[in-house]
Amino acid sequence: MDSLWQDLRLASDADVMALVACGFLAIATLAGMMERRRLKREDIQRVGWVPWLGIFIGCMIIGGGLLALSLPKVLVS
């Protein structure tokens, strides 16, 4: 466990940015699944209060942008 933190502390900015991008893309995947579940609900009156589509789109844009910016540096090293 200590070596993982040591590697993360010594990682370049591009590596850290790629990890953050993967986190955003994971949240976007979860939000997409929840939006699909909300659309397929049994009781049409129980809409919910979480804007899953907005969360999905925002996280996809942020995660995709971060990944696009960090990928050239990560692939070269």
pLDDT tens sequence across 19-61: 999 999 999 999 999 999 999 888 888 888 999 999 999 999 9
Q: What is the DSSP letter of 50?
A: -
Number of domains in the chain: 1
Confidence check: pLDDT of 73 > 90: no
Domain presence at residue 61: yes
Range of the domain at 37: 13-76
Indicate whether 2 belongs to any domain: no
In this structure, what token pair is assigned to residue 40? 């397929």
Nearest Cα neighbor of 27 from 53, 59, 66 is: 59
Residue 68 lies in a domain: yes
Domain-embedded: residue 5: no
Residue bearing the bigger pLDDT, 16 or 6? 16
Residue 28 lies in a domain: yes
Residue 3 within a domain? no
Q: Quick one: pLDDT band at residue 4, thresholds 50, 70, 90?
A: confident
What's the pLDDT band for 15 if we cut at 50, 70, 90?
confident
- The model's pTM is 0.85
